[in-house]
Amino acid sequence: MCNFKRASLTLALPFFAALALGACRDTGAEGEYFEIAGKLFVFNYRVATATYLVNLRPLQPLREGETAVASFEDPAGGEPIVVRQKIWPKLEKTTIESPPLRCVVKDRPYQVSIRIEGADGRVMQTIETTMTSSENQSLLPDRPLVLGPAYTPNPDRAGRPDGKLPGGDSEPCPSPA
C-alpha cells in the first residue's frame, strides 16, 4: 500500500509543478494591455473590397468602457482612416476592421497606430505597427460580382466575367512610393 501512495505522489509532483509554473506566466510588460494577435489585408473578391483587419489579444484583465482607436494609413492618400472599436471584456480578442480601401499596393508597408483608451478617455497603451499586402488591389473587380443576400449577379458586369469595366476606377491612385 505504501508503494502505491509513493508512486501516486511521484506521478502527481510534475503535474503540480507545471500548474505552479503556469500560474506564473508572463502577462506582458508593465502598462501593456494588448498585443497584436494577427493583422492582414482582406481582399473580398465577391464584393470587390479590400480592408485592413487587426486582432488584439488582451494581456491583462479588461474593464468596462475601454475602446480601441485605430488609425490606418489611407492607401489612396490623404488623412488617416480612424476606426473606434468598443472592447468587450469577456471576449478573447478584439477585431478592428477598416472601411473599404482603394489603391492597396503589393509589398508596400502602411502605417497603423492603435490607442487603447480607458472609460475616462485616458490613453492606456499605444501600439505602432505596419501592414504589408501580398497582393495589389487591382486583382479585384471594379464592381461587386453579386448584389444582396441572395447573391444576385450584378447587372453592371453583364458580359464581363473578369469584373473589369470600361474606364475602370474613376479616381486615379497615387503612384507607388
User: Is the pLDDT confidence value at 29 over 50?
Assistant: yes
What end-to-end distance do the CA atoms of the chain give, in Å?
77
Concatenating the DSSP letter of every residue in 20-46 gives HHHHT----STT--EEEEEEEEEEETT
30-65 tens-digit pLDDT? 669 999 999 999 999 888 999 999 999 999 998 999
* Cell 479616381 -> residue: 171
Domain ranges of the chain: 34-157
> What per-residue string of b and e applies to 99-130 under the rule 16 or more CB within 10 Å gives b?
eebebbbeebebebebebbeeeeeebbebeee
pLDDT category at 161 given cuts 50, 70, 90 is low
Number of H helices, E strands in the chain: 1, 9
pLDDT of 7 higher than 60: no
In this structure, are residues 106 and 136 in contact, taking their beta carbons and an 8 Å threshold?
yes
Contact of 31 with 127, CB cutoff 8 Å: no
Q: How far is 56 from 45, CA to CA, in rounded Å?
A: 25
- The C-alpha atoms of residue 78 and residue 66 are separated, in whole angstroms, by 28
Fold annotation for 34-157: Immunoglobulin-like (2.60.40)
pTM of the model: 0.76
Q: What is the pLDDT of residue 30?
A: 61
